[in-house]
């Protein structure tokens, strides 16, 4: 693969921490419902509700909060109190107001890449929440464009590349989810770098890694990205 002209980054769990916030909220959610059901039942039912609602609510904290309330009503057979529902709403509000905590090495890596590459952000989720996080991150100045989409699939990436007049062979995507950040880009003929995050939402799991020699790479941390690009150059 030639050295990429355009490098795009996923946002959540690639540029800043996100899933750890959901994990801590899940702990509090299970504790709230502990006197109704065991943790496994709560997890299983909540995930099923989220998947059922995904097409309507999309990704992000707001959809999660609505699904959490719906699940709580279901698991308690309508016995959950107004005060407990208020607690769930406050959990969602606190997630939306959470500080943006950048991953280690992000600032230095972006600073190293900006002079020689056109950088993009391609992320999915709630538009307002993602815009807020990007503004609070202090990273916006590094990026030529910000793309916030409802789904990260082949069609979405194709539309973005077409809109910015980017040939797939000139494009490299960086992200923590093989399902959302890697596979669609490889399908289009681009290249992708997987940088795993310690926690991955069940919806993003895939059975195996792709086989695309010369176009698919794995790194332990984002700090290793400039060295990888130097080998491509």
CATH of the domain at 146: 3.40.50.1000
Residue 91 contacts residue 108 (beta carbons within 8 Å)? no
CB burial readout 124-161, b (16+ within 10 A) else e: bbbeebbeebbeebebeebbeeebbbeebeeebbeebb
Which band of pLDDT confidence, cut at 50, 70 and 90, is reported for residue 140? very high
Question: Do residues 31 and 112 share a domain?
Answer: no
Question: Do residues 175 and 92 share a domain?
Answer: no
Question: Do residues 147 and 214 share a domain?
Answer: yes
- Is 215 a member of any domain? yes
Question: What is the average pLDDT across 72-79?
Answer: 96
Question: Do residues 38 and 91 share a domain?
Answer: yes
Whether 219 has a pLDDT exceeding 70, the answer reads: yes
What is the DSSP-derived secondary structure letter of residue 103? P
With a CB cutoff of 8 Å and minimum separation 6, the contacts of 181 are 10, 14, 152, 173, 174, 175, 192, 194
Whether 183 has a pLDDT exceeding 90, the answer reads: yes
Query: Whole-angstrom Cα distance, residue 190 to residue 216?
Result: 9
Question: What is the average pLDDT across 67-90?
Answer: 96
Write down the pLDDT at residue 233.
73
Whether 198 has a pLDDT exceeding 90, the answer reads: yes
DSSP H or E run through 163: helix 154-163
Question: Do residues 53 and 143 share a domain?
Answer: no
Question: Do residues 115 and 190 share a domain?
Answer: yes
- What is the pTM (predicted TM-score) of this model? 0.93
- Is 1 a member of any domain? no
- The average confidence (pLDDT) of the chain is 95
Question: Do residues 184 and 200 share a domain?
Answer: yes
Write down the pLDDT at residue 83.
96
Write down the pLDDT at residue 174.
98
Residue 123 contacts residue 12 (beta carbons within 8 Å)? yes
Give the phi and the psi of residue 12 in degrees, each rounded to 5.
Answer: -65, 125
Residues in the chain: 233
Question: Do residues 106 and 85 share a domain?
Answer: no
Percent of the chain whose pLDDT exceeds 70: 100
Question: What is the average pLDDT across 128-153?
Answer: 96
Question: Which residues form the domain of 184?
Answer: 6-16+100-232
Q: How many domains does the chain have?
A: 2
Q: Which of 96, 126, 148 is a domain's end point?
A: 96
Percent of the chain whose pLDDT exceeds 90: 94
């Amino acid at each position: 693969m030639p050295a990429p002209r355009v490098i795009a980054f996923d946002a959540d769990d690639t540029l800043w921490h996100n899933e750890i916030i959901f994990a801590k909220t899940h702990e509090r959610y299970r504790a709230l419902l502990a006197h109704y059901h065991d943790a496994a039942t709560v997890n299983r039912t909540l995930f099923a509700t989220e998947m059922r609602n995904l097409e309507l609510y999309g990704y992000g904290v707001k959809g999660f909060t609505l699904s959490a309330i719906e699940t709580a009503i279901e698991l308690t057979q309508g016995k959950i109190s107004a005060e407990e529902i208020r607690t769930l709403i406050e959990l969602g509000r606190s997630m939306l107001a959470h500080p943006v905590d950048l991953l280690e090495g992000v600032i230095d890596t972006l600073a190293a890449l900006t002079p020689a590459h056109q950088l993009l952000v391609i992320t999915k989720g709630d538009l307002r929440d993602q815009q807020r996080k990007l503004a609070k991150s202090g990273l916006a100045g590094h990026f030529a464009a910000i793309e916030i989409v409802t789904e990260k699939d082949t069609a979405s990436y194709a539309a973005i590349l077409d809109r910015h007049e980017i040939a797939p062979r000139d494009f490299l995507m960086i992200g923590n989810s093989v399902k959302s950040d890697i596979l669609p880009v490889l399908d289009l003929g681009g290249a992708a770098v997987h940088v795993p995050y310690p926690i991955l939402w069940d919806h993003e799991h895939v059975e195996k890694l792709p086989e695309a020699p010369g176009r698919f790479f794995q790194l332990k941390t984002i700090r290793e990205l400039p060295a990888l690009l130097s080998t491509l150059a």
